[in-house]
A and B are shown apart, each in its own frame.
Chain A
Amino acid sequence: MSSLAMRPCGDFRTSYKADNTIFETKTIRLVTFLVIALACAAPLVLDGYFLTLFIQISYLGIAALGLNILVGFTGQISLGHGAFFGFGAFASAWLNTSFNIPVVFCIPLAGFLTMGVGMMFGMPAARIKGLYLAIATLAAQFIIQDFFGRAEWFTGGASGAMAAPVSLFGFDFDTDMSFYFIALFALVFMYIWGCNLMRSRDGRAFVAVRDHYLSAEIMGVKLNKYRLLSFGISSFYAGIGGALYAHYLGYVSSEGFTILMSIQFLAMVIIGGLGSIKGTLMGVVFMVLLPEVLEGMVGLMKYTDYGNLPMVTDGLAYIKEMAIGLVIILFLIFEPEGLAHRWGQIKNYWKCYPFAY
């Protein structure tokens, strides 16, 4: 099927290979490579502000994909993803400062450390489901957050931890432009890995566990193993995202990794589309850009004659916060399957155009 340039109207996949392909058609493959090539050239035209937004999309996107693997593909739940993200950030900084391991190695190592922690907290997942599991992961959030406050050897306590910039062959990636390439590489790498994972035996086992755990077990899928593995992989992604965040800022303080961050990750995967890899990225882009776009609108209001009064701008600030909440609620009501589903519908519409079916 990937030999076709356009998507045929109907599903004509006749082999496992065709069913397993990453890029469904030639055009999709071409567009993907084109987008990556354009992204590589982007710093030539974009300023620091856009680069920062992209870097944010990268590290949050990697962590959100982890959560989607857990929630969207395996049907588990986690309310502690923000804490795992923070753990990755501290772990990478700690490995670098305490053991002098180069940062490029610290980032994947931090992923593995976070994976260990995630699996430890994911252990109850082998036994409990649904709401009970949600509460167990919520506990993980609070335990880890408290740990950040107390473990001075690891996090620096109240002073926080310093994270050196990524350095390769003597070159420091400490500017927005240079770090952009690290972030882009990590994003593409982790997303391709995520796509491949979902095509593999383990990925399919995750989906089987989600769709019907009893059938999966009867088919020989080890439930405990895959539930735990899903927690591990999810935390690994969170750890990598957190480590990138740490080395971008150069400094980690535990203030940011609260329950709010965990909820924000959940919102990202719900808005993007549960169980969709491209949907995850869409959700992250949406959540990162929404406050900026709203802020831009507030900003435009300030240029009007009567708009720059504290009363008006303060009011708009509240409206901005409320609008974010409102958009999330509207999504849950009108687009429960997320942006990925909407994108599919748009494509279907054009595929059948001008006919409705």
Chain B
Amino acid sequence: MTKKILLSTTLACFAFASGAAQAEDTVFVGHLADMSGPTAFVGKPYADGVRDALAYINAHGGIDGTKLEYETIDYAYKVPQAIASYKKWLSRKNMVAMQGWGTADTEALISFAAKDKTPIFSASYSGHLTDPQGKNPNTTKPAPYNFFYGASYSDACRGLVQWAADDWKAKGGKGKPKFTHIGANHPFPNAPKEACAEYATELGFDVQPSVVISMKPGDFKAQCLSLKSSGTNYGYIGNLGGSVQSLIKSCDTVGTDIQFMSNIWGGDKLVFKAAGEGVKNYIFPTMTPFWTDDVPGMKLVREISKMSDSTGKEERLHHYIRGVCSTYFMKESMEWAKAHGGITGENVKKGMYVHKDWVPKGLEGVCLAATWTPEDHRGINQVNIYKGNYNHGDIKVEKVNQVTLERRVDWLGY
């Protein structure tokens, strides 16, 4: 009897050990998402993109055989929970990289990521995250382990301003066009404010004092009246979809004649659907094509989408596709890391610098060509500008321009 127990225990130990040996061939990727907090409006589709991409990678061989172990935590935009999750992943799961989300958590984790050598791929596109070495005097804190897929908020706004300058000329406008920044007094809308205003002045705009509207939807007629009285021609909206809808409706009631332009989170088909007839020639940037666009890489995106929607019929927003791109850039840098000394945070970071004008395999036409260098984390400097219209329920989105921004030294980290 005792022998039997001894034998079975030994066998169990071996089974466990071999299980552990098998488990060694996985690496852990943390995924912070806001699915129930204040930014869930766009946080959910983005998180779905990341999660489906991670699941798809695992289902198709992982990172050259290494499976990705991942966990999605909905931190509801609460910084303490984000930090606790990060620490848990790091100390218990040996996290090699993290897919993050908002400004608050990304910025809270900058120092930890740098110290722990763990790359964080966030959806916060603040300009100051692009300066890994703190070269620009405007950079408060160098962010060597922070990456994001897309143009920074500042660069996207610069692209829009450039489009606005051309638009003004094309329309035969005379004199200096007036430009106003509209948004809450909050780090996210404020991130590109100064940088964008400076560039607008450089391009010959008359920059008006910014107009503050709350991040939450509400009645913004008073703000629209002040936009009307200042004679603003181009208004950049730095907020999220909910307040964008309110602003459009309020300004239509007041009767303003402003060309609205929004940041990347403030314009998608859902916003236009909800805002209804008020949306006229609404300008917004994207970093990916749309679900219905016919580009080669969209085939893979549709396959990835099936991980959570087996019918494949659900139309995903462009935020979802951006989540996929962010995950795939991470995937390819992990592949490089595996071939060059193993998947560690440090090697994943190195892997991000290997290629120039780089598009992940299979996502051609979907993800824009990106280049990261140890001195410059402005992966993307291209801004695709789209125009959205409601047209009695038939939401029409068309590309109006594509701006490639210079990698100016004084714009790094700003």
Q: Chain A interface (Cβ within 8 Å of chain B)?
A: 47-49, 51-53, 56, 60, 146, 149-150, 156-162, 174-176, 249-251, 253-256, 288, 291-292, 295, 299, 302, 309-311, 313-314, 317-318, 320-321
Contact = CB atoms under 8 A, between A and B. Distances in A.
Contacts of A288: 80
A161 B140 contact: yes
State the majority secondary structure of interface residues on B: helix
Contacts of B111: 174, 249-251
B36 A318 contact: yes
B247 to A, nearest CB: 19
B230 to A, nearest CB: 20
B231 to A, nearest CB: 25
The residue among A53, A253, A302 with the most chain B CB atoms within 10 A of its own CB is: A253
B76 A321 contact: yes
A49 B73 contact: no
B87 A162 contact: no
Nearest to A255: B104
Nearest to B138: A159
Nearest to B141: A162
A255 B51 CA distance: 26
The residue among B72, B104, B112, B187 with the most chain A CB atoms within 10 A of its own CB is: B187
B92 A251 contact: no
A49 B87 contact: yes
The residue among B35, B108, B110, B190 with the most chain A CB atoms within 10 A of its own CB is: B108
Contacts of A159: 126, 128, 138-140, 187, 191
B155 to A, nearest CB: 15
B74 interface: yes
B141 A52 contact: no
Contact of A49 (B35, B84, B103, B115): B84
Contact of A48 (B90, B139, B191): B90
A64 to B, nearest CB: 13
B340 interface: no
Contact of B140 (A156, A256, A313): A156
A175 B84 CA distance: 14
Interface of B: 35-36, 48, 51-52, 71-74, 76, 78-81, 83-85, 87-88, 90-92, 102-104, 107-108, 110-112, 115, 126, 128, 138-141, 185-188, 190-191, 193-194, 308
Contacts of B83: 52, 56, 249
A56 B236 CA distance: 38
7 contacts: A161-B140, A176-B87, A250-B112, A254-B186, A254-B187, A288-B80, A295-B81
A192 to B, nearest CB: 25
Contact of A255 (B74, B81, B186): B186
Given A48-B90, A157-B190, A255-B186, A310 B108 contact: no
Contacts of B80: 56, 60, 288
Contact of A313 (B72, B79, B104, B108): B72
A48 B84 CA distance: 9
A317 B78 CA distance: 13
Given A288-B80, A310-B51, A321-B36, A158 B108 contact: no
Contacts of B90: 48-49
Contacts of A318: 35-36
Given A158-B193, A159-B140, A251-B141, A317 B87 contact: no
Q: Which 6 pairs of residues, A with B, have the shortest CB-CB distance?
A: A250-B111, A48-B91, A317-B74, A149-B185, A158-B190, A255-B104
B104 A256 contact: yes
The residue among B52, B76, B138 with the most chain A CB atoms within 10 A of its own CB is: B76
A253 B187 contact: yes
B84 A292 contact: yes
A333 B51 CA distance: 39
Contacts of B71: 299, 302
A295 to B, nearest CB: 6
Contact of A317 (B35, B112, B115, B128): B35
Nearest to A319: B36
B74 A320 contact: yes
A158 B74 contact: no
Contact of A251 (B81, B110, B139): B110
B81 A49 contact: no
Contact of B91 (A49, A146, A311, A313): A49
B141 A310 contact: no
Contacts of B187: 149, 157-160, 253-255
A253 B103 contact: yes
A53 B74 CA distance: 18
Contacts of B72: 313
Contact of B103 (A150, A255, A313): A255
A49 B103 CA distance: 22
B54 to A, nearest CB: 11
A250 B185 contact: no
A256 B78 CA distance: 7
A94 B239 CA distance: 28
Contacts of B128: 159
A42 B71 CA distance: 28
A82 to B, nearest CB: 12
B141 A49 contact: no
Contacts of A313: 72
Given A48-B90, A251-B111, A253-B104, A56 B84 contact: yes
A249 B83 CA distance: 9
A294 to B, nearest CB: 11
B141 A48 contact: no
B110 A295 contact: no
A299 B72 CA distance: 9
B31 to A, nearest CB: 11
Contacts of A255: 79, 102-104, 107, 186-188
B190 A149 contact: yes
A249 B140 contact: no
Contact of B110 (A52, A250, A309): A250
A309 B80 CA distance: 26
Nearest to A59: B80
A47 B110 contact: no
Given A162-B141, A255-B186, A302-B71, A310 B126 contact: no
Nearest to B186: A149
The residue among A48, A311, A313 with the most chain B CB atoms within 10 A of its own CB is: A48
Contact of B308 (A160, A254, A310): A310
A48 B230 CA distance: 54
Contacts of A295: 73, 81, 85
Contacts of A175: 115
A146 B186 CA distance: 8
Contacts of A256: 78-79, 104, 108
The residue among B84, B91, B110 with the most chain A CB atoms within 10 A of its own CB is: B84
